[in-house]
């Protein structure tokens, strides 16, 4: 099974990793067009490695790469301790189009859950999904995330409101 061969690495902010993330983001331009209405830019690569909210540092940010062998097929990020000390926020989970719908996303979430369980005090995962990204909403619900009832009003660069979902890490 393809998803069994996927590995996850925490990415350091290097030129090679920035190139890989840039390649991924441009391969997945359809995502950016859907949720932002514009193609990705180099600023998106910077954000992938350096964007943290007030009250957090880069030590709280874990840029992730998902690999098939040595080839990066997906990327994501997780923020430790957002929006409460017991939560980790998945900021992005994205695969190149040819790697979607083959169990890769489900495998990536399993890797993210394993990483999050290794952090003392973290017992919930959180994700925000742009409301018009119906495929992503369906995916997150299928992997056990539940709507919290929170809706964040749209803000730049997003073109729709953000739906917040959470999942407990422990039954």
pLDDT at 125 over 70: yes
pLDDT at 138 over 90: yes
pLDDT at 151 over 90: yes
pLDDT at position 2: 66
pTM of structure: 0.94
Q: Where are the beta strands (DSSP E) in 37-100?
A: 61-68, 71-80, 87-95
What is the pairing mode between strands 61-68 and 71-80? antiparallel
pLDDT at 91 over 80: yes
């Amino acid at each position: 099974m393809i998803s069994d061969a996927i590995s996850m690495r925490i990415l350091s902010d290097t030129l090679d990793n920035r190139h890989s993330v840039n390649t991924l983001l441009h391969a997945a331009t359809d995502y950016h067009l859907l949720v932002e209405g514009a193609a990705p830019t180099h600023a998106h690569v910077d954000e992938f490695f350096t964007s943290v909210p007030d009250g957090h540092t880069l030590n709280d940010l874990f840029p992730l790469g998902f690999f098939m062998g040595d080839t990066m097929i997906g990327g994501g990020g997780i923020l430790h301790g957002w929006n409460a000390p017991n939560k980790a926020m998945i900021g992005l989970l994205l695969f190149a189009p040819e790697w979607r719908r083959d169990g890769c996303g489900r495998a990536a979430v399993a890797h993210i859950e394993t990483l999050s369980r290794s952090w003392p005090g973290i017992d919930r995962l959180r994700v925000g999904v742009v409301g018009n990204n119906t495929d992503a909403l369906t995916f997150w619900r299928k992997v056990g995330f539940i709507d919290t009832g929170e809706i964040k009003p749209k803000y730049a660069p997003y073109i729709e409101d953000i739906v917040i979902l959470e999942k407990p890490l422990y039954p």
